[in-house]
């Protein structure tokens, strides 16, 4: 998988400038495996064997992620880090190339690593023991044959699971890249996401029908992940080349920092916005939210100037900035809107709603679907 960086992780190794981090939740998996091996009557040897198997799978996962990262590097895209989660690995690429063939090779490189390990293990097995055997995790026996059949089975599983044609699996991206050779990125994403959802529904229904709750759970997970991924990609694609100036709201509510809480409340009743942009000598001072106004009112501070509340500091965006980047800044600051400042004066505000409105208008203009 390729996705954003995650906090709460510890770096365990570094290769080619890419650190491998283990997310703390990974310890839950290790603990779960140890406890379930011990509670099912396993002795110490059994517990160690099962933990060893988990570690071996994750070594293969790390190699898979390096497959993505090093192929990305080949196209000049750096990877911030690789994080191991209980459900698998995530390589945080700085960006995913728009060029479909580049996305195709970067994405398929991961599963191909598993294919190579699988073939190597299979060839060794064939050469040494004269046949192919998939692993029975309960079977003991000599170490080398057991190890080879375990590697064969685990990598077959990783290969097939990652190639499921649904976001956020590699297969979803590969499908999108292939469709992108003929279609626009948005169309390709829409189709890939619909196929992913159909697959998720089949897994879910199949899981319920055959009494396999894990299968149904995976189906449910893919259903939601596919929708979220598709929405994000389509929003990114629709906002490409769009600046803050094109989507910002130029009618907004602003008051001087010298104005009183009482005046702000009067204006709020007369039809103000949710949040108030506070200006000090014409320049941005900060934001006052409706909640802040109500709290001041409750504390009988109607005569207090906005300056003294004080307004919440907010880092503004500029009208020339890409809308997508500004949206990320808005989310990172945890404020309901960001003021847009040009040459020292506030020229508009940007809030998440502006973007969905913009996308809806754009969709309607094209005569296509609305901005869901
Ligand atoms: Zn992958």
How far does the centroid of ligand 1 lie from the alpha carbon of residue 331, in Å? 27
Q: Which domains are delineated in the chain?
A: 1-163 (no CATH), 165-238 (no CATH), 244-366 (3.10.580.10)
How far does the centroid of ligand 1 lie from the alpha carbon of residue 183, in Å? 23
How far does the centroid of ligand 1 lie from the alpha carbon of residue 335, in Å? 34
Backbone angles phi, psi at 279, to 5 degrees: -110, 140
How far does the centroid of ligand 1 lie from the alpha carbon of residue 253, in Å? 47
How far does the centroid of ligand 1 lie from the alpha carbon of residue 272, in Å? 49
CA 98, CA 52: separation in Å to the nearest integer? Answer: 39
How far does the centroid of ligand 1 lie from the alpha carbon of residue 256, in Å? 53
- Give residue 3's pLDDT: 47
Q: Which two tokens stand for residue 298?
A: 């409750």
Over residues 268-293, the pLDDT tens digits come to 888 877 788 888 887 888 888 888 88
- Give residue 264's pLDDT: 85
- Give residue 4's pLDDT: 45
Q: Of 203, 231, 252, whose CA–CA distance to 369 is shortest? A: 231
How far does the centroid of ligand 1 lie from the alpha carbon of residue 114, in Å? 10
Task: Using a CB cutoff of 5 Å, list residues around ligand 1, an ion.
Answer: 110, 170
Q: How many CA atoms lie within 13 A of 81 on its CB side?
A: 18
How far does the centroid of ligand 1 lie from the alpha carbon of residue 67, in Å? 8
- Give residue 370's pLDDT: 43
Q: How many CA atoms lie within 13 A of 288 on its CB side?
A: 30
- Give residue 108's pLDDT: 95
DSSP-based three-state secondary structure for 337: coil
How far does the centroid of ligand 1 lie from the alpha carbon of residue 186, in Å? 22
How far does the centroid of ligand 1 lie from the alpha carbon of residue 174, in Å? 10
How far does the centroid of ligand 1 lie from the alpha carbon of residue 155, in Å? 12
Residues of the chain with pLDDT under 50: 2-5, 369-372
357 contacts: CB under 8 Å, gap ≥ 6: 371
DSSP-based three-state secondary structure for 296: helix
- Give residue 1's pLDDT: 52
How far does the centroid of ligand 1 lie from the alpha carbon of residue 127, in Å? 30
């Amino acid at each position: 998988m390729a996705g954003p960086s995650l906090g709460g992780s510890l770096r365990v190794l570094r290769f080619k400038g890419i650190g491998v981090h283990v997310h703390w939740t990974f310890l839950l998996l290790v603990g779960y495996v140890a406890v379930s091996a011990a509670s099912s009557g396993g002795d110490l040897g059994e517990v160690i064997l099962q933990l060893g198997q988990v570690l071996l799978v994750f070594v293969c996962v790390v190699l898979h992620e390096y497959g993505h990262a090093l192929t990305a590097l080949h196209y000049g895209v750096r990877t911030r880090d690789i994080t191991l989660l209980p459900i698998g690995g995530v390589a945080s690429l700085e960006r995913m190339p728009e060029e479909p063939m580049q996305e195709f090779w970067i994405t398929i490189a991961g599963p191909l690593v598993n294919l190579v390990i699988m073939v190597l293990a299979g060839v060794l097995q064939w050469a040494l023991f004269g046949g192919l055997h998939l692993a029975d995790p309960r079977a003991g026996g000599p170490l080398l044959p057991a190890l080879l059949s375990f590697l064969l089975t685990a990598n077959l599983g990783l290969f097939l699971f990652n190639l499921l044609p649904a976001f956020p699996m590699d297969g979803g991206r590969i499908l999108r890249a292939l469709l992108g050779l003929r279609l626009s990125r948005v169309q390709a994403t829409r189709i890939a996401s619909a196929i992913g959802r159909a697959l998720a529904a089949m897994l879910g229904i199949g899981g319920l029908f055959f009494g396999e709750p894990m299968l149904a759970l995976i189906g449910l997970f893919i259903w939601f992940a596919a929708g979220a991924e598709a929405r994000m990609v389509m929003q990114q694609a629709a906002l490409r080349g769009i600046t803050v100036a094109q989507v910002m709201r130029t009618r907004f509510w602003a008051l001087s920092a010298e104005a009183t809480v009482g005046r702000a409340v009067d204006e709020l009743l007369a039809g103000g916005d949710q949040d108030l942009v506070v200006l000090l000598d014409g320049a941005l001072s900060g934001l006052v939210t409706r909640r802040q106004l109500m709290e001041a009112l409750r504390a009988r501070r109607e005569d207090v100037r906005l300056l003294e509340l004080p307004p919440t500091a907010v880092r503004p965006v500029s009208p020339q900035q890409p809308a997508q980047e500004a949206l990320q800044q808005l989310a990172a600051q945890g404020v309901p809107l960001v003021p847009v400042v040009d040459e020292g004066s506030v020229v508009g505000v940007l809030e998440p709603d502006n973007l969905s409105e913009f996308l809806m208008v754009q969709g309607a203009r094209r005569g296509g679907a609305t901005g869901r």
